[in-house]
A and B are shown apart, each in its own frame.
Chain A
Amino acid sequence: MKELFWIFISASLVSNFTLALFLGLCPFLGVSGKVATAVRMGMANIFVLVITSLTVSALNTWVLPHAPYLQLISFIVVIASLVQIVEMAIKKLSPTLFRELGIFLPLITTNCAILGLALFQTNRGYGFMEGLVFALGGGVGLTLALVLMASIRETVELADVPSVARNMGLVLILAGSLSLAFMGFAGLFSS
């Protein structure tokens, strides 16, 4: 239990997917303009990450020991198809939820964070429960980074910024400062 707790803390804060491992930068820079959108994007991310983690556990247990060279191809194909199926199911069962998450789901499938989670989970040899907690932690960390970034950008929007900095350059420097702040969480482990 203590082990699982530390996996969660590590994935969400200390080695945050976006700010320390640079996974999932496209949504981080692309849809972090408004807090409301960022929250929904984060929720959709958590959802897909959990599905991915379950899929990868199953593949690692039953398929890949027999055909290790298929790792990359099977991860991509199986995750993409599963997300597609889940999307259709949600559309049928709960239109409200579909409106909340729907647009983002296909976009997220080709996001580095998803494949990154699959590869990290395999490389570190996480089992079923550990993988699930890792996915939840990573998703919470992504959401946290997205929402923080969106709040900062909403504020910056109203500030008097020189015209040179009215592009991605400023956003990246803000992300750097945020990343610097998250490095402080590494202190949790040294004591």
Chain B
Amino acid sequence: MSRRTTPQEDFIRGIWKENPVLVQLLGLCPTLAVTGTVDNALTMGIATFFVLLGSSVLVATFKSVIPKEVRISAYILVIATFVTIADNVLHAVVPEIHKSLGPFVPLIVVNCIILGRQEAFASKNTVGRATLDAIGTGFGFIITMMIMGSMRELLGNGTWLGYPLFGAHFEPWVIMVLPPGGFFTLGFILLGIAWWKGRTAVPVRPRRWPHGVTTEVGGSTS
């Protein structure tokens, strides 16, 4: 962190400006794999949020004790411990969803978002700042999961959280809940964001020199 940031910025940053999935393109595996239905996506989002928060707090607390040479291994061990907790809790509380998520709950360990936040932020900042940052990034991830899950379930199944919304005449686009639908949904969201940014950005105009001045680089030869 070369620039000082305020606590509010730490919190807000992860939600939109540096959204982990939509802007940084991290953690794509769960974003694409478990967003077929809203409840799977929400469960995955909350589990990741818990792991991110827990490991950020722990890493920030013990940052001066962890030797620099083995820090990545230490982070992975901390993350794996929290994932084991999350896995067992999900297994006990929502066994149905846990079964349909399958190996993707243990795979939170290799989610780049979590390791990335430890390396880039939690290991260099105070516990309070690391907590705010983890909550912001976690919310950003949950929001993205909800957007993906809602779009795929609505279009692919005509329901939202299991409630039918479109009536009997809706023909579901089955492809949206199958694997290709995940790629298509995220692809179109990214295209939409690129279009939005290009639309609001000021168009680049060729620089006009005062009359009579010539430049070799600019190419105005009159």
Footprint of B on A, CB under 8 Å? 19-26, 29, 69, 71-73, 76-77, 80, 110-112, 114-116, 119-120, 123, 163-165, 167-173, 175-177, 179-180, 183
Contacts and interface: CB of A to CB of B under 8 A. Distances in A.
6 contacts: A19-B179, A29-B28, A72-B83, A73-B84, A110-B76, A114-B110
Contact of A72 (B29, B84, B198): B84
B103 interface: yes
Interface in B11-46: 25, 28-29, 32-33
Contacts of B110: 110-112, 114-115
A12 to B, nearest CB: 16
A143 to B, nearest CB: 18
Contacts of A120: 103
A176 B180 contact: yes
Interface stretch (B57-65, B157-165, B189-197): B189-197
Nearest to B81: A73
A77 B76 CA distance: 9
A65 to B, nearest CB: 18
B187 A119 contact: no
Question: Per DSSP, are chain A's interface residues mostly helix, strand or loop, or mixed?
Answer: helix
A21 B33 CA distance: 7
A179 B102 contact: no
B175 interface: yes
Contact of B179 (A20, A110, A123, A169): A20
Contacts of B209: none
B190 A168 contact: yes
Interface in B195-217: 195, 198
Interface of B: 25, 28-29, 32-33, 73, 76-77, 80-81, 83-84, 87, 102-103, 106-107, 109-110, 112, 115, 175, 178-184, 186-191, 193-195, 198
A181 B191 CA distance: 22
A69 B84 contact: yes
Q: Which of A24, A72, A114, A168 counts the most chain B CB atoms within 10 A?
A: A72
A170 B191 contact: yes
Given A69-B84, A72-B84, A123 B102 contact: yes
Contact of B77 (A21, A77, A170): A77
Contacts of B106: 71-72, 115, 119
Contacts of A20: 179
Given A169-B194, A172-B190, A73 B80 contact: yes
